[in-house]
Amino acid sequence: MEKSYSFKSIEDKWQKKWTENSTFKTMESSNKPKYYILEMFPYPSGKMHMGHVRNYTLGDVLARYKKNKGLNVLHPMGWDAFGLPAENAARENNIHPAKWTYENIDYMKNQFKKLGFSIDWDKEVITCSPDYYIHEQSMFIDFFNAGLAYKKESWVNWDPVENTVLANEQVVDGKGWRSGSPVEQKQLNQWFLKITDFAEDLLNDLSLLKDWPEKVRNMQQNWIGKSSGANIFFNISGSNEKITVYTTRPETIFGATFIGLSINHPLSISLAETKVDIANFIKEIQSAGTLEENIAKEEKKGINTGLYAINPINGEEIPIFICNYVLDYGTSCIFACPAHDVRDFEFAIKYNIPLKTVIKPVEESDNFIVQNKPFEDEGILINSSVLNGLNMFDAKAKIIIYLAEQGFGEAKINYRLKDWGVSRQRYWGCPIPIIYCNSCGVLPEHKQNLPITLPMDVDFNQVGNPLVTHPTWKHTNCPKCCGKATRETDTFDTFFESSWYFLRYPSVGKANPLDPDTTKYWIPVDQYIGGIEHAVMHLLYSRFFVKALAKLNILGEQNKELKEPFKALMTQGMIAHKTYKNSDGKWIYPNEIMFDENNNPIHCDTKIPVVIGRSEKMSKSKKNTVDPDYICKIYGADTARMFVLSDSPPDKDLEWTDEGVEGIFKFINRYWRLAQLGISSKDAFDLEKLSSKSKEVYSKVQKYILEIENNINGLHLNKAIALNRELFNLLDSSKGEIGGSTLRYGVKILTQTLSPFIPHITEEIWESLGENSILSTASWPSVDANYLNDNKVTIAVQILGKTKGSIEVDVNISQEDLLNEIKSIPVVAKSLDGVNIKKVIYVPKRIINVVI
Ligand code: ANZ
Ligand code: ZN
């Protein structure tokens, strides 16, 4: 009977050994080059999903490979542990958020261990733990003292039922995503971090991030949204007030036919105080929400204020409107040029405002007039006095100089990036270390009083933030006058915690929270891996934090020049799975279906036919998920790990199929059986004495080692797996022809090149091969360079220009010998049989074309 492989006992055995031997403990001081590999840490939601498995396996393969290559590896893990779901669980199940969170962490940590990830758990970071958030409270105080944290009134989406601010993403069709009640716009005093101070650095330093996906760099660039143009000052007719517009197209100033204000522009607000129709209009626009994409799609709406602005360039009076499409950006005020801007055009048509053409296509005459649609392309200035005849770029430069000379305006650069609002009216977050005193104002807490911890006795049955309703927590004494004072009851946005956790890992266990020498050695992270959904916020905030902390000297003199947190970034693809629906249109889980005698899908219990839908990203809502625990139980962790990497490049989506998983499981079993053959061979390996066939195999093995290595380095992990499978096939198909010692040698190499992917079974085989070391810490196999340059080339074979196959031959083969050799390809032999060869075109090392 075939000996089969018992993954359960093998996986348990090696996980235990790794723990006992502290195999993955980070070396604290080392003169080896370092490699810091990091995957985005998970939110402890309760259970891992397949996306996690793929993400963490990707990182684990790199961590293991780099360790085998002799680098000093840091591969830590932690928990992004604050956030809303814990509070919801508290409300729904009457369990304290802390208890819920820590129980989830326990469960998920066990799942991590069962997957065999090479994590140094001594470096674990849990963001809801006071010994983590004490440091961010301290950082916030430093930011506050440096003017990088400030408080301001700002408009927020307010859910009147939940009594909290909602992020734009949490407003669905103008309603709160959970409560379903219409969202109100409310002005709240909120804490902000001055990320805009770093806009220029955040933009310029994108050029340092050569190993980031171009897509992510572009997304950040767009988010920062630098534009250059001018501020232009308009007097208001009949008053001595002025308004300032921001424009990127100052050269179109002669085409201005109205002014647009945002609903939050100071003039709009002051008009609303006396004019009911304006107040009502503003309310109406507010209730539509603040999401920019929605505003762009919405119908243009406005209200005439009855006021006029005087165009400084020609003294014309133009009406001032309040418009829904003017956002709180730039100066919240625009001059509109409907002939050359589609938004202004739509608005002008709707409200009967004239168009003034000031740019014409190059080929048109100066009498060109915009009528049915705006002309937004590049062109030549007309009807614009001193600018006539100039192209747009020259006109822009000229008018900016002129405006500045005349005192009508000034050159201006703007960014779309806004300061980051970090206040949340939530319990389960890090308390903001600020105290309000009636006499002394707004003060940071003394650092020696940190951490300000959350009270544990909170009542979730009351409406709103439990920190506000708690009887004692917020009452304290003023840090300055010692009088009665109250604490800030807002907590930080949880993105605050994730903006610096990667800086914390290396220093866990050190006296300094962000030890300067340790930081100098480990930071930046060499390879970061995570989802594309974090392309902007998390990755931008982290970049900002590193720049701000370095600038404020919080990371020590050694790190003052530190610019970026993540040297290389990889965004992994999603895992997709077919979807299934019941006859009543409800989603059902894959494991709820079976096939009837005609091979039609039916529901296991009800036996009612099931509709198979297309493959979509795994999600709980569509019930097309596969539980990692289940896969580990049926096939083992090695199969799960190998499958999630095998079928697609890491940055592309992966289709989950049962057949695919089966295929990997079968492969691992075949590898196991082949390995047993190698293990049982006792002959000594002597390269000099090998047969020519064995030497050929030996030589090919060298090529595989190198190629697998190159593909792991290039993050082509699916290709590295495919090459491992080829190497297996090579050994398996030649096992009868090569001696036992060569097979044993081949199995040993294969075990090493497979080990980052399937670490448990390979440890077991390594041990059976009589190796004393733990494979996870053994050296990556070295390549025998003497055998690397084999003398074979693959030549494409064509007949009459049509490719019929390819053949591997000696590099120096003569044309005559080659003509004979290609007859070993059956179709070629058939075509050439008994025919007259008219001509042979042979490009050495590449192609042979036979003309008949
Ligand atoms: C006059 C003009 C004429 C404009 C023209 C465009 C075309 P970016 O490039 O995104 O910075 N704008 C300025 N502030 C705005 C606001 N708060 N809300 C909505 N739109 C605003 O965009 C700058 C351009 O967008 C500006 O140039 C302004 O319209 C508009 F033929 O000014 B322009
Ligand atoms: Zn005071």
What pLDDT digit, counting tens, does each position of 56-66 carry? Answer: 999 999 999 99
**Residue of the nearest CA to atom 29 in ligand 1?**
247
Q: What are phi and psi of 346, to 5 degrees?
A: -60, -40
Instruction: State the first-to-last Cα distance of the chain, in angstroms, to the nearest integer.
Output: 55
CA distance 557 to 552: 10
Q: In this structure, which amino acid lies at residue 738?
A: I
CB 490 within 8 A of CB 190: yes
Q: With 50 as the cut, is the pLDDT of residue 1 above it?
A: no
CA 487 to centroid of ligand 2, rounded, Å: 12
C-beta 334 within 6 A of ligand 1? yes
Among 402-406, 426-430, 585-589, the least confident range: 585-589
Name every residue whose Cβ is closer than 8 Å to that of residue 177 and which is 6 or more positions away in sequence. Answer: 166, 170, 171
Q: Are 42 and 78 in contact (CB under 8 A)?
A: no
pLDDT of the residue at 464: 79
CB 337 less than 6 A from any atom of ligand 1: yes
Sign of CA dihedral 172, 101, 501, 19: negative
Task: Tell me: pLDDT of 443 over 60.
Answer: yes
What is the average per-residue pLDDT within 506-518? 95
> What is the pLDDT at residue 291?
59
- Quick one: CA torsion of 125, 127, 132, 136, rounded to 10 degrees? 130
Q: How confident is the model at residue 2 (pLDDT cuts 50, 70, 90)?
A: very low
Q: Report residue 292's pLDDT band, with 50, 70 and 90 as the boundaries.
A: low
Tokens of 451: 């951490």
What tokens were used for 743? 């097979």
- pLDDT of 3: 52
| Farthest CA pair distance, the chain | 109
Question: Distance from the CA of 478 to the center of ligand 2, in angstroms?
Answer: 5
Residue nearest to atom 2 of ligand 1 (CA): 249
Q: Which atom of ligand 1 is nearest to the CA of 253?
A: 1
Q: Is the CB of residue 326 below 6 angstroms from any atom belonging to ligand 1?
A: yes
Distance 476 CA to ligand 2 centre (A): 11
What is the average per-residue pLDDT within 12-38? Answer: 93
Among candidates 727, 732, 726, 742, which has minimal Cα distance to 693? 742
Q: Looking at ligand 1, which residue's alpha carbon is closest to its atom 22?
A: 248
Tell the residue nearest (CA) to atom 32 of ligand 1: 247
Q: How far is the CA of 265 from the centre of ligand 1 (A)?
A: 15
Q: How far does residue 435's CA lie from ligand 2's centre (Å)? A: 9
Distance 133 CA to ligand 2 centre (A): 25
246 CB less than 6 Å from ligand 1? yes
Question: What DSSP element (H or E) covers 20?
Answer: helix 7-20
Question: Atom 27 (ligand 1): residue with closest C-alpha?
Answer: 247
Nearest atom in ligand 1 to the alpha carbon of residue 376 is 31
Residue whose CB lies within 8 A of the most ligand 1 atoms, among 298, 300, 334, for a mutation test: 334
Task: State the pLDDT at residue 627.
Answer: 87
Q: Is the CB of 329 under 6 A from ligand 1?
A: yes
Ligand 1 pocket residue status of 330, Cβ below 6 Å: yes
- Best residue among 249, 327, 400 to mutate for probing ligand 1, ranked by most atoms within 8 Å of CB: 249
For residue 401 the two structure tokens come to 């100089």
* Residue-level pLDDT at 604: 87
Nearest ligand for residue 439 CA: 2
Counting ligand 1 atoms within 8 A of each CB, the residue from 341, 353, 355, 359 with the most, and so the one to mutate, is 341
Residue type, 399: I
For residue 395, how far is its CA from the centre of ligand 1 (angstroms)?
17
3-state secondary structure of 236: strand
Query: Is-contact 440 476, C-beta < 8 A?
Result: no
Q: How far apart are CA 308 and CA 317, in angstroms?
A: 6
Ligand 1 proximity of 244 Cβ (cutoff 6 Å): no
Say if CB 610 and CB 533 are below 8 A apart.
Answer: no
Q: Is there an atom of ligand 1 within 6 Å of 252 CB?
A: yes
Mean pLDDT in residue range 43-55: 93
Q: Give the strand pairing for 125-126 and 78-79.
A: parallel
pLDDT at 463 over 90: no
Distance 130 CA to ligand 2 centre (A): 26
Confidence check: pLDDT of 435 > 90: yes
Q: Quick check: bond before 250 cis, omega within 30? A: no
* pLDDT at residue number 583: 79
Mean pLDDT for 803-818 is 84
Instruction: State the distance from the centre of ligand 2 to the C-alpha of 420, rounded, in angstroms.
Output: 28
Closest ligand to C-alpha of residue 482 is 2
Q: Which two tokens stand for residue 735?
A: 């096992």
Where residue 592 falls among pLDDT bands split at 50, 70, 90?
A: confident
Instruction: Give the ligand whose atoms come closest to the C-alpha of residue 356.
Output: 1
**Which residue minimizes the CA distance to atom 19 of ligand 1?**
326
Atom of ligand 1 minimally distant from the CA of 340: 31
Region 129-147 average pLDDT: 97
**How far apart are the CA of 611 and the centre of ligand 1, in A?**
50
pLDDT class for 844, splitting at 50, 70, 90? confident
Output the CA 839–ligand 1 centroid distance in Å.
68
| pLDDT above 90 (res 581) | no
What's residue 759's pLDDT? 98
Mean pLDDT over residues 212-241, rounded? 96
Distance 561 CA to ligand 1 centre (A): 36
Q: Which ligand is nearest to the CA of 225?
A: 1
- Copy the structure tokens of residue 527: 């390879």
- C-alpha torsion 211→212→214→220, nearest 10: -140
Helix segments in 205-316, DSSP class H: 214-224, 266-274, 276-287, 292-297
For the segment 629-647, the average pLDDT, to the nearest whole number, is: 95
264 CB near ligand 1 (under 6 Å) = no
Percent of the chain clearing pLDDT 90 (strictly above): 73
Which ligand is closest in space to the CA of residue 435?
2
Query: Does 307 score more than 50 pLDDT?
Result: yes
Reading the block at residue 14, the tokens are 């090696």
Ligand 1 contacts CB of residue 335 (under 6 A):
yes
The DSSP result for 87-113, as a single string, is HHHHHHH---HHHHHHHHHHHHHHHHH
Counting from 1 in the atom list of ligand 1, the atom nearest the Cα of 328 is 17
Distance CA 160, CA 797 (A): 75
In the chain, the percentage of residues whose pLDDT exceeds 70 is: 98
Structure pTM? 0.87
Q: Render pLDDT for 156-196 as a digit per residue (tens, 0 to 9).
A: 888 888 777 876 667 777 788 778 888 888 888 999 999 99
266 CA → ligand 1 middle, Å = 19
247 lines ligand 1 (CB under 6 A): yes
CA 295 to ligand 1 centroid distance, Å = 15
- Going by alpha carbons, the residue nearest to atom 20 of ligand 1 is 326
**C-alpha of residue 154 to centroid of ligand 2, in Å:** 26
DSSP class of 525: B
C-alpha 117/C-alpha 106 separation (Å) is 16
Q: What is the pLDDT of residue 90?
A: 85
Residue 790, pLDDT > 70, answer: no
Q: Collect all residues with Cβ–Cβ distance below 8 Å to 191 and sequence separation of at least 6.
A: 149, 150, 151, 421, 422, 423, 432, 434, 488, 490
- What is the rounded CA–CA span in Å between residue 638 and residue 757? 7
* Contact between residue 570 and residue 528 where contact means Cβ atoms under 8 Å apart: yes
Report which residue type is found at 749: I
Q: Give the nearest ligand 1 atom to 359 CA.
A: 31
Which atom of ligand 1 has the smallest separation from the CA of 332? 17
Q: What is the residue with the minimal CA distance to atom 11 of ligand 1?
A: 227
Nearest ligand to the C-alpha atom of residue 437:
2
Task: Provide the pLDDT for residue 173.
Answer: 77
> What pLDDT score was predicted for residue 91?
85
**Mean pLDDT for the stretch of residues 110-138:** 97
Please state, in angstroms and rounded to a whole number, the distance separating the CA atoms of residues 782 and 792. Answer: 22
In 3D space, the residue among 777, 758, 755, 729 whose CA is nearest the CA of residue 7 turns out to be 758
Radius of gyration of the chain (CA): 34
